[in-house]
Amino acid sequence: MSLSVESESALAAAAPKSQLVQLKHGRASVAVMRDQWFIAAMSSELKSKPLATKLYGTPLVLFRDKEGKAGALVDRCPHRNVPLSLGQVTDDGNLRCPYHGWQFDRAGACKHIPSLASESEAKARRALSLPTIEQQGFIWVYASTEPDCVPNKKPHEFGLLGKAGYSTVTQVVEAKGTMFSTIENALDVPHTAFLHRGLFRSESRGLHITAKVQRSKDRVIAEYVGEPRPTGLIARILSPSGGIVTHFDRFIMPSVAQVEYSIGTENHFIADSIATPLDDFHTRIYAVVSFRSRLPHFLIRPFVKPLALRVFNQDAIILERQTELIEAFGGEQFASTEIDVLGKHIWRLMRTAERGGEALVEDEANEVTLIV
2 versus 136: smaller Cβ distance to a second copy: 2
Nearest to 227 by CA among 259, 254, 183: 259
Residue 277 burial class via C-beta count within 10 angstroms: exposed 0-12, middle 13-18, buried 19 and up: buried
Q: Is 189 in the site for a second copy (CB under 8 A)?
A: yes
Q: Is 360 in the site for a second copy (CB under 8 A)?
A: no
**Footprint on residues 136-165 left by a second copy (CB under 8 A):** 143, 145
Q: Least Å distance between CB 324 and a second copy?
A: 8
| Positive or negative: CA dihedral 85, 88, 93, 94 | negative
Distance of CA 28 to the CA centre of its chain: 17
244 versus 328: smaller Cβ distance to a second copy: 328
Binding region for a second copy (CB under 8 A) out of 8-16, 163-171, 266-274, 287-295: 8-16
Exactly one of 114, 228, 242, 302 binds a second copy (CB under 8 A); which one?
114
The residues, ordered by sequence, that sit 6+ positions from 244 with a Cβ below 8 Å of its Cβ are 262, 263, 264
Q: Least Å distance between CB 186 and a second copy?
A: 14
**3-class DSSP state of 320:** helix
Distance of CA 357 to the CA centre of its chain: 21
**Footprint on residues 236-275 left by a second copy (CB under 8 A):** none
Q: Least Å distance between CB 235 and a second copy?
A: 17
The C-alpha atoms of residue 184 and residue 201 are separated, in whole angstroms, by: 18
The C-alpha atoms of residue 62 and residue 60 are separated, in whole angstroms, by: 7
Q: Is 4 in the site for a second copy (CB under 8 A)?
A: yes
Exactly one of 68, 333, 364, 365 binds a second copy (CB under 8 A); which one?
333
The binding track of 285-324 with respect to a second copy, each residue x by CB under 8 A or -, is ---------------------------------x--xx--
The residues, ordered by sequence, that sit 6+ positions from 129 with a Cβ below 8 Å of its Cβ are 71, 72, 73, 74, 106, 107, 108, 145
The C-alpha atoms of residue 261 and residue 250 are separated, in whole angstroms, by: 11
The binding track of 12-51 with respect to a second copy, each residue x by CB under 8 A or -, is -x-xxxxxxx--------x-x-x-----------------
